[in-house]
Amino acid sequence: MDIVIKCPACSMDLTVDASAAGAQIKCPQCNTLLIVPKITADVSQSRGSGSLAFDRDLSEGDDAAMAKLLADAYGAMKREVGKAIVGQHEVIEQVIIAIFARSHCLLEGVPGLAKTYMVSNLSKAMDLSFKRVQFTPDLMPADITGTEVIQDDQEGRRSLVFMRGPIFAQMVLADEINRSPPKTQAALLEAMQEHSVTVGGKTYPLDEPFFVLATQNPVEQEGTYPLPEAQKDRFMFLVKVDYPKKAEEREVIARTTGAFSAKVEPCITGKEVEACQRLVRKVPVPDHVTNYVLELVRRARPDDDDALPLAKEYIDWGPGPRACQQLIMGGKVRAVLNGRPQVTVDDIAALAHPVLRHRIAPTFHAEAEGITVENIIDKLLEAIPRVATDDTIRIPAR
């Protein structure tokens, strides 16, 4: 059994084995002497213990009340984050959808678009702990996950103490993930998949709910290590963060160069987020919506017998089964956030771009003609009709 001790001087969390109870150890960061307690209370981290706008005792069986909680909290989160962030409504919506779908996001945008600030304020609105990791070429896996150090007590006994890394937070921002080598990237992606970290033969569970937001700079690619396609596929969405509109940029200037300050209040607790993550899986999906997802994904595979002509011409390789899963899960969350009892085809179409843009590789012919992945997805949405039928969708003959 492990005991988590917080250093009173530097607030670092130290994980020690319970067998070391009564021993003295030094904090590796500030050298403060600490005594391992013999009796510990419940060390599970409590989430959302403050006075929150939507803090209530909801039973797991009360799905209607939980759905209303999620819809109300979504509106409140948008208002609270809007105190600090101007515009970027689609980006905020897609990040929130990924959180409630229990998945992760990859953000792409030029520097200076408040990506870090947005994630930090979103963590406050959801009452989640937040850590930011700046990825650099010399960053090592232990700098993210943490490492074990040897400590001597006053009696000369040695014990291993696990120093937790920044991955032990509920919301982690991996800033410029393509700046670090593949070994370091893989350490983060393992935590994303398993929601745990293994160091020295021991597995440490991560705090739930756990969410990773990674950013990439699409402009400067010199000295970077682009994520392999298989690793990109682990992210639910590739969210494009664009420049603000003129009126929004005027408001940004006014806020950031004056005396304006925003205090973001929590709107939902971590435990309620977990309950909502379980709730969205119960949302029904009509057969015609599932058929639409299948047609949208399968007809984008150039080697498929039913592939669209544009797929054979413009797509080198298409999306895999995980794209279907993410479209369905995203559609479920979007339906609940908008107060609807089931998924519609419009929910799927609204999420097609963030789900598919990193799962489609254009051919050289498409790039030579200036046809981007965004253009290809637009053409897919135009070619596949949004019809409400339980039968397989029929593509009109050309």
Q: What pLDDT does 313 receive?
A: 86
- Report if residue 76 sits inside a domain: yes
Each residue's pLDDT tens digit, 295-330:
999 988 888 888 888 888 888 888 888 999 999 999
Q: Using one digit for the tens of pLDDT, what is the confidence trace for 77-92?
A: 888 888 778 888 888 8
Q: Are 226 and 182 in contact (CB under 8 A)?
A: no
Among the candidates 270, 302, 330, a domain finishes at 270
Residue 265 lies in a domain: yes
- Reported as a single tens digit per residue, the pLDDT across 118-128 is 888 888 888 88
- The H-assigned helical ranges of 148-238 are 182-194, 229-232
* Last residue within a domain, chosen from 218, 238, 270: 270
The whole-number pLDDT of residue 34 equals 65
Q: Rounded CA gap, 362 and 373, in Å?
A: 6
Say if residue 336 is in the same domain as residue 235. Answer: no
Q: Which residue has the higher pLDDT, 226 or 379?
A: 379
Place of tokens 């160091």: 199
What amino acid occupies position 295? E
Contact by Cβ (8 Å): 269, 47: yes
- Asked if residue 57 is part of any domain, the answer here is no
Q: Same domain, yes or no, for 245 and 376? A: no
Ordered DSSP codes for 39-92:
S----SPP-S-S--TT-----TT-HHHHHHHHHHHHHHHHHHHHHH--S-HHHH
Neighbours of 72 (CB within 10 A): 15
**Which tokens go with 297?**
């994904």
pLDDT of residue 293 exceeding 80, the answer is yes
Task: Report whether pLDDT(284) > 70.
Answer: yes
Averaged pLDDT score across all residues of the chain: 79
pLDDT in tens, 141-177: 888 888 777 777 677 777 777 788 888 888 888 888 8
388 inside domain: no
Q: How far apart are alpha carbons 329 and 392 in whole angstroms?
A: 21
- Position 238 pLDDT exceeds 70: yes
* 209 secondary structure, DSSP code: S
Q: Is the confidence at residue 54, as pLDDT, over 50?
A: no
Examine residue 275 and state whether it is found in any structural domain, yes or no: no
Same domain, 289 and 358: yes
* Predicted local distance difference test score (pLDDT) of residue 369: 85
**Same domain flag for 307 and 206:** no
319 and 228 both lie in a single domain: no
Structural domain contains residue 391: no
For residues 28 and 125, state if they share a domain.
no
Q: What is the pLDDT of residue 397?
A: 40
Alpha-carbon distance of 177 to 175, in angstroms, equals 6
125/218 same-domain check: yes
Find the Cα–Cα–Cα–Cα dihedral 304, 305, 308, 312, rounded to 10°: 60
Angle at which helix 63-84 crosses helix 115-125, to 10 degrees, equals 140
> Across 42-51, 184-193, 301-310, which has the greatest mean pLDDT?
301-310
**What was the pLDDT predicted at 221?**
64
Q: Residue 297: helix, strand or coil by DSSP?
A: helix
Q: Among candidates 132, 117, 47, 130, which has minimal Cα distance to 262? A: 117
Residue 311 shares a structural domain with residue 326: yes
Does residue 73 have a pLDDT over 50? Answer: yes
Q: The CATH number of the domain where 323 resides is what?
A: 1.10.8.80
Kindly state whether residue 74 falls inside one of the protein's structural domains: yes
- pLDDT interval class at 72 (50, 70, 90): confident
Could you give the CA distance from residue 168 to residue 129 in angstroms, rounded to a whole number?
9
- What is the pLDDT at residue 3? 64
Furthest-apart CA atoms within the chain: distance in Å: 84
The pLDDT of residue 271 is above 60 = yes
Do 171 and 297 share a structural domain?
Answer: no
**What residue type is 282 in one-letter code?**
K
d(CA 163, CA 58): 36
Which residue would you say has higher pLDDT here, 128 or 189? 128
Domain residue limits at 360: 283-383
Q: pLDDT category, 52, cuts 50, 70, 90?
A: very low
Looking at the structure, tell me whether residues 87 and 12 fall in a common domain: no
pLDDT of residue 224: 73
Report the distance separating Cα 192 and Cα 188, nearest Å: 6
Q: How many domains does the chain have?
A: 3
Q: For the chain, how many residues are written?
A: 398
Does pLDDT of 60 surpass 70? Answer: no
Query: Per residue in 6-43, pLDDT tens?
Result: 776 666 776 766 555 656 566 777 666 666 665 433 33
Question: Which of 270, 299, 322 lies at the terminal end of a domain, its last residue?
Answer: 270
> Who's near 265: CB < 8 A, 6+ residues apart?
53, 80, 124, 125
- Measured CA to CA, the distance from residue 134 to residue 214 in angstroms comes to 10
Residues 77 and 134 in one domain: yes
Give the pLDDT confidence score for residue 331 in this predicted structure: 92
Domain identity same for 347 and 374:
yes
Does 149 map to a domain? yes
**Is residue 286 packed enough to be buried (19+ CB in 10 Å), middle (13-18) or exposed (0-12)?**
middle
Q: Are 289 and 275 a contacting pair, CB within 8 Å? A: no
pLDDT reading at 290 higher than 70:
yes
Compute the distance between CA of residue 54 and CA of residue 73 in angstroms, rounded to an integer. Answer: 7
| Assigned token pair, 353 | 């771009």
* CATH number for 229: 3.40.50.300
Q: Using an 8 Å Cβ cutoff, are 107 and 239 in contact? A: yes
